[in-house]
Amino acid sequence: METEWKEKKADPAAVERLTQALGCHPVVATLLTNRGIDTPEEAKIFLDPSLETLAKPFSLKDMDKAVTRIVSAVENREKILIFGDFDADGVTSTAILTDFFNHVDAELTWYIPHRTKEGYGLKPEHIAMAAEQYVDLIITVDCGSDSFEAVDAAKLEDIDVIVTDHHEVPDPPPPALALVNPKQKACTSGLDHLAGVGVAFYLVIALRIAMREKDMWQEIKEPNLLKSCDLVALGTIADMVPLVAENRTLSKAGINVMRKGERPGLKALFDVSRIDAGVLDSDDIAFRVAPRINAAGRMSHARICIDLLCSRDRNGAEQKAALLDQLNKKRQQTEQSIVADMEQKIARHPELAQGSALVMSDPSWNPGVLGIAASKAARKYACPVVLISTAQSPATGSCRSVNSINIHKALGQCSGVLQRFGGHAMAAGLTIKKNNIKDFSALFESEIKSMINGREVKKTLDLDCALPIDTITKELVEQVDRLRPFGTANPEPLFYCEDVTVIRSTIIGTRHRKMMLANTGNTTGPTMEALHFNIDNPNDLPNHYSKIAFRIRMNRFNREVSPQIIIEESLFLS
């Protein structure tokens, strides 16, 4: 599929204003403007976020109700159950509350459901389990906003339920004692960008305030919540929520905490992932740490992760981290087999990938890794993708979208043939009876086609600005790095340069090219090291590029610090 290169057009007046006010490089001012930050005041807050600017926790609807009930449970030694989800967001949310309640010596237990055997969310059978364990209060994290049957069952057992979540909320919502979810209509906090772990962290902040007001920190040392920001950063970045406002502030603070390596579980994960904790960043979290956390729920059971993240024993943490590394390798192999099987099916039946959406199913697919495979397919075919495993009954599916097409809304229009669905605009899950898959495929295709409304959906490359090779310096890379952490809504800057000559090159491995590049009109001038991963044809390498799209990084290999570019896409005459 042909890629459309689209350059963002920053307002020159805003760029000049920021350059002068901040004393920064015009490229940095351009990047800020491209991200909707066009005043010096906004830029200073963005570049140097402070925890003091966080929104007040009690601005979240029902936070007061939740805190009052939880404090009472702690004081009266009632049994509390934290019920989480099996992905990195749910796991870190559970770990944060577990750490806090253990600190205050609460009567506590926690539970993470099995992804394939139990599925997502709080269910009536979990209430029956809680009743057998004499649980008085259930607090959900990263789930529960649509758990109507479970909440009703809990009432019959005289168990209070507090829901903390960030997924879409039905109208009306389930009748929980408190629903702390910034996405509910009546919540005016403006915190709907939070991940589930962010909501859980706000609950902990509110609990600390309430317990301070009740003089509960006289006998127990008040916890330093900054130390929990490492888990907030991990869950937030892993869940791909927008890295803006509170999410950016908490993630940046959390990365700084991570770099100190004080949490044994994370330190063990960094070691097994071959990450230098001292220079760790959001890319390391998103592509190396989070996949290992998620692998537990996909290939085994996510309870391993709670034990790891809450562990204070370095040896035990190292053993669990090694297990997660093994599970992640198994996950990668399983995912590769699904992607290969998909491609074979599409090769045999090209019409599958010629519609507005792609819906496929197979009984051999592991439901735990469908989301990753769906993400890859959505990027490749530039359309919403639904992959369904029919290995069990009902069948389970994962959905991923592109180009801001709201698949959660589309699934809502197909709810008549679905047993259950939930998630976000860009990522969702579903369960469905096998004999309804064909009808669902037709309905979903029709709904997506209607949403697109005739416009052509292309794979696009969003470019920030032109950046000639000979203008890239160490100082520029350092200034651009102030925009980190990068992620959703704050993507890593993507630059372009035209007319580039390859001075020399070598192949690394089988499909990676390492080069020294220069502007064609100045081949005796400054050169720049470049890496191009996963090239299409190692036997047909151009010596000249008409255009390259690239990212700039600091190369710290062998402790040498110098600028380097990573080529994302290239154009050349064959």
pLDDT (mean) for 139-159: 97
- Tell how far CA 208 is from the center of its chain: 27
- Distance from C-alpha of 54 to C-alpha of 446, rounded to nearest angstrom: 42
Specify burial of residue 116 (Cβ count, 10 A radius: 0-12, 13-18, 19+).
middle
Among residues 412, 421, 438, which one has the least CA distance to residue 360?
438
Per DSSP (E only), the strands in 146-298 are 160-164, 178-180
CATH topology of domain 349-457: Diaminopimelate Epimerase; Chain A, domain 1 (3.10.310)
pTM of the model: 0.91
pLDDT at 558 over 70: no
Q: Where does 3-8+461-571 sit in CATH, by number?
A: 2.40.50.460
pLDDT at 1 over 60: no
**pLDDT tens for residues 439-474?**
999 999 999 999 988 777 777 899 999 999 999 999
Q: How many CB atoms sit inside 10 A of residue 264's CB? A: 21
Helix (H, G, I), strand (E, B) or coil at 495: strand
User: Quick one: pLDDT at residue 376?
Assistant: 92
pLDDT (mean) for 347-361: 93
Q: Is the peptide bond before 49 cis (omega within 30 degrees of 0)?
A: no
Confidence of residue 525 (pLDDT cuts 50, 70, 90): confident
pLDDT (mean) for 56-85: 98
Among residues 479, 477, 481, 394, which one has the least CA distance to residue 432?
394
Per DSSP (E only), the strands in 13-132 are 79-83, 107-111
**pLDDT tens for residues 12-60?**
999 999 999 999 999 999 999 999 999 999 999 999 999 999 999 999 9
Are 466 and 496 spatial neighbours (Cβ–Cβ below 8 Å)?
A: yes
Are 219 and 253 spatial neighbours (Cβ–Cβ below 8 Å)?
A: no
pLDDT (mean) for 61-83: 98
pLDDT at 347 over 90: yes
**pLDDT tens for residues 400-443?**
998 889 999 999 999 999 999 988 888 899 999 999 999 999 99
pLDDT at 75 over 60: yes
User: Quick one: pLDDT at residue 455?
Assistant: 75
pLDDT at 2 over 90: no
Q: Where are the alpha helices (DSSP H) in 365-498?
A: 370-381, 407-413, 437-452, 474-480
User: Quick one: pLDDT at residue 202?
Assistant: 98
CA torsion 326→328→332→333, rounded to 10°? 30
Among residues 438, 420, 439, which one has the least CA distance to residue 430?
420
Are 301 and 324 spatial neighbours (Cβ–Cβ below 8 Å)?
A: no
Class of domain 57-225: alpha beta
Average pLDDT of the chain to the nearest whole number = 94
Among residues 9, 338, 382, 71, which one has the least CA distance to residue 204?
71
User: Quick one: pLDDT at residue 538?
Assistant: 79
**What are the sequence ranges of the domains in the chain?**
3-8+461-571, 57-225, 349-457
